[in-house]
Amino acid sequence: MTKIHRIKQNVVDANITNRIIANTKDALPFIKSFLEKIVSLESPTDNPAVQQPLLTTIAEEFLKLGYNVIQMPGNISGGYLYARPGNRIKNQPIQLLIGHCDTVWPLSTIEEMPIVSDNGKMTGPGIFDMKAGLTQIIFALKTIKELDLKLTYTPVVLINSDEEKGSRESTDIIKRLSRIAARAYVLEPPLGLDGKLKTARKGLGRFTLTVVGKSAHAGLEPGKGASAILELSHQIQELFKLNDHEKGITVNVGMIEGGMNPNVIAPMAKAIVDVRVLTHKDGERIAQQIKSLKAFNPETELIVEGYIGRPPMEKTKRNQEIWRSAQKIGVQMGLQLKEATAGGGSDGNTTSLFTATLDGLGTTGDGAHARHEHILTDKLVERTALLTHLLAMD
């Protein structure tokens, strides 16, 4: 059984708050310089080999902090990096920091999306999602070391390289660490330009519906065929009926294919379905309904494959408890933090199954997976200081 660690509500005192903020402000030139460095080290998910210089650069920073570092290679990904203090206190509970180094951008995107710092913004591929968050982890831990802050929970860090493709290889290690962690902080970008923290996320499922029909000549013997395309059109309407926006359920047929030639009754058609849900219960129900679809034409066959791959991050009692603690820290820092529910998934969906989780702690900005990707430069200080406070929280 997983041990439950209750999160106390007392936060860092005002004197330490001022020291954390002052230290982070002084470090801003170094924070920006390091961020520019790791953004320049492009790290597309689909190219594991080019991720290694970035992982090595990050590992070197942890070694400077006195952390022990393990770089685990992947089979289909760039692997992951795990770091923990070399002088950790025996039997002290841990707090988990999670980030990912992979981006959606192909190699050489930086030539079209250069790193520019101007008018209060910094741009570059992956800067918002989520290399600013990786930078925050390192400089929050630097601040803790420089100020000699005594922590109740030992920070351990997991940085994976396959989050943008669903963390297929790294989910096992994330689960193992989450089971023994008192809390987890996920450095994904916040939501919106007001920087809302993510206290809930939709679960994500992917299903493939294949229809097997019977081919026949469309002109000579159409009655001898059974159109897979016609059957699929009926099934698509059934799938869209599963949408329930009041409950936050979305079922979207995003891709279809099928047929052989215009003059042939289609023997095959296929649809790929994206499913988003807010609760585990709804996820199980929708998955069962999709798998229970029946053919309208008995001469066709339906083959349904897929599942809910990322369970929802729900607003559990423990997640709300850590959110309220963050709110208190925000007030202490002069911030009015807000919470939000995100439609997309992250590794926070996984950690939330096992421990108190707060997501969206990265730097405020906009343009994740878009050409206008950027962060707001002044928020680097604010969000690094906030993370430092959270790590120092009892």
Give the span between the Cα atoms of 100 and 131, in whole angstroms.
Answer: 8
Query: Which domains does the chain possess?
Result: 14-201+312-392 (3.40.630.10), 203-310 (3.30.70.360)
- Note the pLDDT of residue 160: 98
294, burial (CB in 10 Å: exposed 0-12, middle 13-18, buried 19+)? exposed
Share of the chain above pLDDT 90, in %: 95
DSSP character at residue 196 = B
> Within 10 A of 254 (CB to CB), how many other CB atoms are there?
9
Give the C-alpha distances (Å, rounded to integers) separating 172 from 78, 177, 351, 363: 15, 9, 11, 27
CA-based nearest residue to 35, from 115, 100, 119: 115
- Note the pLDDT of residue 12: 62
Q: Specify the pTM.
A: 0.91
- Tokens 């950690």 belong to which residue? 351
CA-based nearest residue to 372, from 197, 127, 131: 127
User: How many helices and strands, by DSSP H and E, does the chain display?
Assistant: 10, 16
Contacts of 85 (CB under 8 A, 6+ apart): 65, 66, 67, 68, 154, 155
Residue 89 CA to its chain's centroid (Å) = 30
Low-confidence ranges of the chain (pLDDT < 70): 1-12
**Given its phi and psi angles, is residue 119 left (phi above 0), alpha (psi -120 to 50 degrees) or beta?**
left
Mean pLDDT in the chain?
95
- Note the pLDDT of residue 1: 37
